[in-house]
């Protein structure tokens, strides 16, 4: 599924089922660093293999995938098979609390931060446990207290079943307080004292308390700006903001601006300026119209405002922030997808439209501003030939994807499968669009753009799986489906259920996933993880031409059944 940066000791690219001559190790590389508590070894040998003197389990084809625990620091492993030997050194990195008084880490603010008057500002630093810590900025002096809070693992922990919080480490210090007066403080000094010794560090960022009388407005300058729940790419995505959208900004954190409605957007996607008034609009007449295979809902505004789209059972909810209804009349045209439009002023500053569908199934939507008119287009149910976009995962010399025990790369098997699915779909009269026909390196954003351009009936991104280092490669296999929008869930579920049942394959599970190839809204889009390249027995099934043909026919048949249902 991911990019594997090391190509292995022997690369067997042309013959997927072949075993490398002698002992071969695909993963990990000879020198490897990880913060995982264990590591797996993916490889193959025609003869028995020992890992640090202990025999390991191998498939009938000679493939293996054992896991071993890691101690903090350097771990040395030796694989032996016959007279061959491979040595691997794995360094497990563990973040420890500061051990000396001068080791003061992550002082807030690390970047330029701006907040509203009265907003709570939380200062923090990591220091040696047991120290007395304070922070000073101008005339403000604040003592910090030890903070004990659990730590959450990364999102990848869900993939291996370990999302539970972990105990926090000592050495965290913090304090929160509001500031009522507009001001800018550029130097915050943290001082730690233990006994008769002391140390200090100056935070690299600054803190500004904004003047509420000054209206600062952001305007989206790119076709679509990603809005998030916080000032980081780790924060979850909100509804993207169309080009031209305007909103008052109420805070800043480094290169991120916080909009009044709550979303955070990177500065590179915005134009920032002053305005005598914050962006606001009333809404009066609303209309709908059929345009080709779409029904457009048109909402005239006086300024392009931030919006949120939520899919509901049998409906789409469109919220326009900072808008007030003065609506007495709406013209609703006959439509094969849209049954009814209703509105509700959910708060004085939030206007929500409920677009009720003719059935529970949504076939895609897209949104734009035409000047200051918001246009949300809903796709009609398919009529005539079906178009399926197939995206063979990975590709090119730099993006091999996951690799099996022999070194065979995911990019080759996804392309082989996609070609078989393409042929099976065409035999049933479907039109097929491929994101790549050969060994091409396409970024996820390029593939997603191809979906938006092609506007297929459905889009399928074909992949095979791997695990993060702390996964159990030897015992994890099966078919998994990733979906993002509710309109894609039904297709993902039926593909998962029927593939596992009809092909007698194990289930890895159903996942809501924030993945580029599952996020397009123009059509139901599913990312299929069809098995684990790193599982010794499942790899043999993955690379079998007969199994690929059976899988391809099943994917084509199930997809068309769902569309024509």
If you average pLDDT over residues 551-559, what whole number do you get? 98
What is the model's pLDDT at position 52?
Answer: 97
Work out the average pLDDT over 457-463: 98
- Evaluate if residue 8 carries a pLDDT over 60: no
Rounded average pLDDT over 8-34: 70
With a cut of 60, say whether residue 532 has pLDDT above it.
Answer: yes
Report in angstroms the alpha-carbon separations of 269 from 134, 219, 272, 360.
37, 8, 10, 35
402, 4 contact by CB (below 8 A): yes
The sign of the CA dihedral 356, 360, 361, 364 is: positive
Q: Is the pLDDT of residue 246 over 70?
A: yes
User: What is the pLDDT averaged over residues 69-87?
Assistant: 97
pLDDT tens figures, 305-359 = 999 999 999 999 999 999 999 999 999 999 999 999 999 999 999 999 999 999 8
pLDDT at 17: 54
Domain ranges in the chain? 24-92, 216-274, 294-379, 387-564
Residue 148 confidence class, pLDDT cut points 50, 70, 90: confident
Q: Provide, rounded to the nearest whole percent, the portion of the chain with pLDDT above 90.
A: 92
Model confidence at 13: pLDDT above 60:
no
CA distance 348 to 344: 10
Fold type of domain 216-274: SH3 type barrels. (2.30.30)
Q: 98 falls in which pLDDT band (50, 70, 90)?
A: very high
Second-level CATH architecture of 24-92: Sandwich (2.60)
CA angle 316, 319, 324 (to 5 degrees): 135
Please state which CATH number belongs to domain 387-564. 3.40.630.40
pLDDT digits (tens, 9 = 90+) for 256-272: 999 999 999 999 999 99
User: For residue 394, what are the contacts with CB-CB under 8 A and spacing of at least 6?
Assistant: 3, 400, 401, 409, 410, 411, 414, 463
Whole-angstrom CA distances from 535 to 15, 58, 334, 464 are 18, 11, 53, 11
Buried residues in 320-356 as b, exposed as e (16+ CB within 10 A): bbbbebebeebebeebbbbeebebeeeeeebbbbbbe
Q: Give 7's pLDDT tier (boundaries 50, 70, 90).
A: very low
Q: Give the Cα separation of 98 and 85 in Å (integer).
A: 40
- Can you tell me the mean pLDDT for 197-220? 97
The yes-or-no answer to whether 24-92 and 387-564 have a common fold is no
Answer yes or no: is pLDDT of 14 > 60.
no
pLDDT tens digits, 400-434: 999 999 999 999 999 999 999 999 999 999 999 99
The number of angstroms, rounded, from the C-alpha of 414 to the middle of its chain's C-alpha atoms is 21
Q: How far apart are CA 436 and CA 418, in angstroms?
A: 10
Report the pLDDT value the prediction gives residue 232, as an integer from 0 to 100: 96
Least confident segment among 1-15, 291-305, 470-484: 1-15
**Model confidence pLDDT, tens digit, residues 374-390:** 999 999 999 989 999 99
* Percentage of the chain exceeding pLDDT 70: 96
Q: Is the pLDDT of residue 10 over 50?
A: no
What span, in angstroms and rounded, lies between the C-alpha atoms of 491 and 495?
6
Cα angle value 23/71/104 (rounded, 5°): 130
Bigger pLDDT: 286 vs 148: 286
Residues 52-62 have pLDDT tens digits of 999 999 999 99
pLDDT value of position 6: 30
Separation of alpha carbons 141 and 135, rounded Å = 6
Residue from 281, 318, 314 nearest 296 by CA: 318
E-strand stretches of 371-488: 373-379, 387-392, 431-434, 458-465, 479-483
Interatomic CA distance for residues 418 and 403, integer angstroms: 18
User: Over the chain, what is the mean pLDDT?
Assistant: 95
């Amino acid at each position: 599924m991911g990019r594997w940066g090391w190509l292995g000791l022997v690369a067997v690219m042309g013959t997927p089922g072949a075993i490398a001559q002698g002992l071969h190790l695909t993963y990990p590389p000879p020198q490897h660093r990880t913060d995982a508590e264990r590591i797996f070894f993916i490889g193959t040998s025609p003869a028995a293999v020992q890992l640090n003197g202990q025999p390991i389990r191998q498939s009938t084809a000679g493939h293996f995938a054992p896991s071993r625990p890691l101690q903090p620091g350097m771990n040395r492993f030796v694989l032996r098979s016959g007279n061959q030997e491979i040595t691997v050194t794995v360094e497990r990195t563990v973040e420890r609390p500061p051990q000396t008084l001068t080791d003061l880490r992550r002082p807030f603010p690390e970047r330029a931060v701006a907040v509203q008057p009265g907003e709570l500002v939380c200062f923090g630093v990591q220091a040696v446990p047991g120290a007395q810590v304070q922070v000073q900025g101008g005339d403000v002096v604040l003592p910090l207290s030890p903070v004990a809070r659990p730590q959450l693992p990364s999102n990848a922990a869900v993939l291996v079943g370990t999302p539970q919080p972990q105990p926090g480490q000592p050495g965290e210090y913090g304090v929160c307080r509001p500031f009522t007066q507009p001001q800018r403080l550029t130097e915050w000094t943290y001082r730690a004292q233990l006994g008769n010794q002391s140390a200090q560090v100056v935070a690299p960022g600054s803190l500004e308390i904004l003047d509420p009388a000054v209206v600062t407005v952001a305007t989206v300058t790119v076709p679509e700006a990603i809005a998030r729940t916080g000032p980081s790419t780790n924060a979850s995505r909100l509804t993207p903001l169309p080009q031209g959208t305007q909103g008052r900004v109420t805070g800043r954190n480094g290169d991120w601006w916080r909009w009044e409605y709550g979303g955070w957007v990177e500065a590179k996607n915005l134009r920032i300026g002053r305005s005598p008034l914050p962006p606001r609009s009333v809404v009066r007449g609303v209309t709908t119209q059929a345009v080709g295979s779409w029904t457009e809902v048109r909402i005239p505004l006086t300024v392009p405002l931030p919006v949120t789209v939520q899919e509901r059972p049998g409906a789409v909810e469109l919220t326009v922030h900072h808008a007030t209804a003065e609506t007495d009349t709406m013209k609703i045209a006959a439509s094969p997808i849209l049954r009814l439009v209703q509105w509700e002023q959910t708060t004085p500053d939030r206007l929500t439209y409920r677009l009720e569908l003719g059935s529970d199934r949504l076939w895609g939507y897209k949104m734009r501003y035409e000047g200051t008119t918001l246009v949300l287009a809903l796709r009609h149910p398919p009529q005539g030939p079906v178009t399926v976009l197939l995206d063979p995962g990975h590709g090119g010399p730099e993006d091999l994807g996951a690799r099996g025990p022999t070194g065979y790369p995911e990019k080759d098997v996804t392309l082989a499968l996609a070609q078989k699915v393409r042929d099976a779909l065409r035999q049933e009269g479907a039109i097929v669009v491929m994101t790549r026909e050969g060994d091409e390196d396409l970024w996820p954003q390029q593939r997603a753009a191809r979906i938006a351009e092609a506007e297929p009936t459905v889009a399928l991104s074909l992949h095979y799986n791997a695990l993060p280092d702390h996964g159990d490669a030897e015992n994890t296999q099966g078919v998994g489906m990733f979906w993002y929008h509710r309109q894609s869930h039904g297709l993902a579920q039926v593909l998962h259920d029927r593939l596992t049942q009809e092909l007698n394959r194990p289930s890895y599970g159903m996942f809501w996933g924030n993945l580029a190839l599952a996020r397009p809204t123009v059509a139901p889009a599913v990312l299929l993880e069809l098995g684990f390249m790193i599982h010794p027995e499942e790899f043999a099934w993955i690379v079998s031409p007969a199994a690929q043909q059976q899988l391809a026919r099943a994917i084509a048949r199930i997809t068309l059944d769902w569309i024509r249902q």
